[in-house]
């Protein structure tokens, strides 16, 4: 993927920059405080979000934003892929995260971000992408991942407690490139 790609919808998906952190943090903070996609209870501050982005980039992985009208600076969402687990046998598997600005869901922003993320991770030679979706009732995220070819991989029932209720974790999986058909390079 080039540094920025116009994806229609009047937006550009590009690599996130430090200047984007305030918008990224605000989007994520809303989801932490009002949603169940994240099992965090307190939103991390901008310094912590900057540290997390640096960690993703240190692994050579993509951390993307969807910008409304190229150069406008209006961030409509963000996505990144991180290592699925730390142990070495997992090194070919990634976990994706996609968050969209409140009020902008259902407009194709999450789809544009996830599509770009899948493309970039495939280009990097990864073999599996795992979605860990907060709560079975998060139909928007489940549908988004299914539209991009993810299949059901299981549900962990009632593993989180937030907003006064028990929450599931839904696992979905997408083979990247040749997936498990050949050994990795």
Q: What is the pLDDT of residues 123-136, one digit of tens each?
A: 999 999 999 999 99
Q: What is the DSSP letter of 25?
A: H
User: Alpha helix (H) ranges present in 59-156?
Assistant: 109-123, 139-147
Determine the Cα–Cα distance for residues 113 and 24; give it in Å rounded to an integer.
14
* Environment class of 150 (CB within 10 Å of its CB; exposed 0-12, middle 13-18, buried 19+): buried
Query: Which tens digit of pLDDT belongs to each residue from 65-78?
Result: 999 876 666 999 99
Determine the Cα–Cα distance for residues 12 and 6; give it in Å rounded to an integer.
4
What residue ranges do the domains of the chain occupy? 4-175
Query: Which tens digit of pLDDT belongs to each residue from 104-157?
Result: 999 999 999 999 999 999 999 999 999 999 999 999 999 999 999 999 999 999
Query: Which tens digit of pLDDT belongs to each residue from 25-65?
Result: 999 999 999 999 999 999 999 999 999 999 999 999 999 99
Please say whether the beta carbons of 32 and 42 come within 8 A: yes
**Cα–Cα distances in Å, from 117 out to 17, 75, 162, 167?**
16, 16, 28, 26
Q: Residue 76's CB: how many other CB atoms inside 10 A?
A: 25
pTM: 0.93
Q: Which fold has domain 4-175?
A: Aminopeptidase (3.40.630)
Q: Where are the beta strands (DSSP E) in the chain?
A: 4-6, 11-15, 63-68, 74-83, 93-100, 128-134, 151-162, 165-175
């Amino acid at each position: 993927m080039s540094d920025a790609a116009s994806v229609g919808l009047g937006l550009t998906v590009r690599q996130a920059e430090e200047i984007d952190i305030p918008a990224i943090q605000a989007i994520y903070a809303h989801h932490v405080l009002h949603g169940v996609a994240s099992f965090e209870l307190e939103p991390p501050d901008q310094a912590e979000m900057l540290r997390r982005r640096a960690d993703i980039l240190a692994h050579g992985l993509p951390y993307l934003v969807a910008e409304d009208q190229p150069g406008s600076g209006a961030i409509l969402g963000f996505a990144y892929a991180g290592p699925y687990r730390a142990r070495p046998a997992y090194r070919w598997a990634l976990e994706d995260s996609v968050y969209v600005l409140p009020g902008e869901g259902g407009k194709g922003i999450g789809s544009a971000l996830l599509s770009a993320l899948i493309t970039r991770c495939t280009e990097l030679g990864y073999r599996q992408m795992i979605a860990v979706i907060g709560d079975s009732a998060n139909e928007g995220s489940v549908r988004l991942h299914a539209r991009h070819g993810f299949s059901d991989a299981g549900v962990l029932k009632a593993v989180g407690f937030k907003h006064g209720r028990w929450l599931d974790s839904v696992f979905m999986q997408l083979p990247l490139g040749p997936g498990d058909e050949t050994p990795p390079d």
